[in-house]
Amino acid sequence: MKRTLLTVEDVLELMRREVKACGSQQAFASKVGITQGYVNDILKRKRELGPKILDALGLRKVVSYEQMEVKK
């Protein structure tokens, strides 16, 4: 299985799809065990994704660093 790194926007799009599939932010929040306000804050980028949401989306958080090109 190939692992793919996702951007925050990619993850938020996955979350938007799940919210739509559930029918509402409240329904998604209930399914995941969080508040609707938290869902809304995440979608508005006011708060970071927590473990319950990542688990519901089948994701895990990893930190990545990339070496910058040296300008000559």
Question: pLDDT, tens digit, for every residue of 56-65?
Answer: 999 999 988 8
All residues at 6 or more sequence positions from 31 whose CB lies less than 8 Å from its CB, including other chains: 22, 56
Mean pLDDT, rounded, for 37-64: 95
- Give the model's pLDDT for residue 1: 63
Q: How far is CA 5 from CA 8, 26, 64, in A?
A: 10, 28, 9
Higher pLDDT, 5 or 27: 27
The tokens for 29 are 């929040």
- Indicate left, alpha or beta for 52 from its phi (over 0: left) and psi (-120 to 50: alpha): alpha
User: Domain residues of the chain, as ranges?
Assistant: 8-56
- Residues of the chain with pLDDT > 70, as a percent, come to 99
pTM across the whole model: 0.82
Query: 8-22, 36-50, 56-70 — which is least confidently predicted?
Result: 56-70
